[in-house]
Structure 1
Amino acid sequence: MSVEIRPIEDEDHGAVHRLLTDRWTGPEILLDGQMVDASRLPGYVAIAGPELAGLVTVIKRPGEWEILTLDSLSRWAGTGTLLLDAVVKEAREAGIKRLTVRTSNDNLDAFRFYQRRDFRIERIAPGVIDKERSQKPEIPMRGDYGIPIHDEVLFARTL
């Protein structure tokens, strides 16, 4: 089945909110100690038939954009790459020279995904997720591979 990538529209809000709740325990994501409602951010959806197949949300700052969430509901199908490519294309068209994304120390799939797409590890912030857990206790203690979750890793890509 083919996947259509398009900008998030107002009528997508319910589906976006559900996806973020299913994948992130809710649309509110902690970033630098502040709650950000990812369901209200710009970005792109991937649509396969009548279903939402993926989502990317972006914080747009002057000179630098940050991917806050990137989810593909069918792993290894290329949906994540298509979503990322849409963000990169828009950022370049807007004259943005840098794209960043943060993940937790346990997210080995994200490490592989972003590094294969020209992102480089720029910073490791020890203990950030431990601190965030005090504000958002539903953040799990261990990740998919049984790795304890403690630190935040920043990846960056020059466009």
Structure 2
Amino acid sequence: MRLGALEGKCRKETDALIRENWGGPMIVSRGKLTDTRGLPGLAAEEDGRLLGYLLYRVSGKDCEVVVLEALEQNRGVGTALLDLAGIRAKEAGCNRLWLITTNDNAHAIRFYQKYGMELRAVHIGAVDKARNLLKPGIPMTGEDGIPIRHEFEFELRLS
């Protein structure tokens, strides 16, 4: 597996995946719409095949992981991308790596905790509000038929 900056062919493939899998390119997090097309990113690839990607935003001392998707599970793709994001965040002077996932995403919630991230906050009704005010296309239900209503904020302290 090779890790690096998200560019060229991988960037085009990622933009298409975000449209398909995330209803993108606009992503909602903490009541803000973010256009993923302008964000820096990281890619994991092997033999010319995209294995996963991560898009992030640095703001002051914080680095937000806006999108993380491992296209192949149980191969260490998500872990490798988060590791590299942490390195990039430290290089940018950040002391916190954080992200939002939704209440239905049990797989991600397990993964982030296993990775060492702490649950920082639960934003009750945040997805309902975002659906009503910012992005009506957010699905009503997610994994396992669980209603998507809340945002879970995870963080990893870098210093």
**TM beyond 0.5:** yes
1:80 corresponds to which residue? Answer: 78
Unaligned runs of 5+ in 2: none
Q: Which amino acid aligns with 1:80?
A: G
Tell me the distance in 2 between the aligned counterparts of 1:7 and 1:115: 25
2:136 corresponds to which residue? Answer: 137
2:91 maps to 1:93: yes
- What's the TM-score once normalised by structure 2's chain length? 0.92
Report the 3-state secondary structure (helix = DSSP H, G, I; strand = E; otherwise coil) of the residue aligned with 1:145: helix
Deviating more after overlay: 31-40 vs 77-86: 31-40
| Paired residues of 2:31 and 2:126 also in contact (CA < 8 A) | no
Identity percentage over the alignment? Answer: 35
CA RMSD of aligned residues (A): 1.4
Deviating more after overlay: 148-157 vs 9-18: 9-18
Relative to structure 1, is the Cα distance of residues 41 and 13 closer, same or farther in structure 2, using a 3 angstrom cutoff?
same
Q: Deviations over 1:50-98 (max 9, x none)?
A: 2222110001111110100000101111111111111011222333211
- What's the TM-score once normalised by structure 1's chain length? 0.92
2:63 corresponds to which residue? Answer: 65
Count of matched residue pairs: 157
Deviating more after overlay: 86-95 vs 10-19: 10-19
Tell me the distance in 2 between the aligned counterparts of 1:116 and 1:14: 31
Deviating more after overlay: 148-157 vs 10-19: 10-19
Report the 3-state secondary structure (helix = DSSP H, G, I; strand = E; otherwise coil) of the residue aligned with 1:141: coil
Report the 3-state secondary structure (helix = DSSP H, G, I; strand = E; otherwise coil) of the residue aligned with 2:24: coil
2:116 maps to 1:149: no
Deviating more after overlay: 7-16 vs 39-48: 7-16
Report the 3-state secondary structure (helix = DSSP H, G, I; strand = E; otherwise coil) of the residue aligned with 1:89: helix
Tell me the distance in 1 between the aligned counterparts of 2:63 and 2:142: 26
Residue 155 (structure 1) shift: 0.6
Q: Which amino acid aligns with 1:104?
A: T
Residue 11 (structure 1) shift: 5.2
Residue 22 (structure 1) shift: 2.1
Report the 3-state secondary structure (helix = DSSP H, G, I; strand = E; otherwise coil) of the residue aligned with 1:14: helix
| Paired residues of 1:20 and 1:39 also in contact (CA < 8 A) | no
Tell me the distance in 1 between the aligned counterparts of 2:8 and 2:34: 18
Q: Which runs of at least 4 in structure 1 moved beyond 3 Å after TM superposition?
A: 10-13
| Paired residues of 2:29 and 2:100 also in contact (CA < 8 A) | no
Equivalent residue runs for 1:1-159 within 5 Å: 3-9=1-7, 12-134=10-132, 135-159=134-158
Residue 43 (structure 1) shift: 1.8
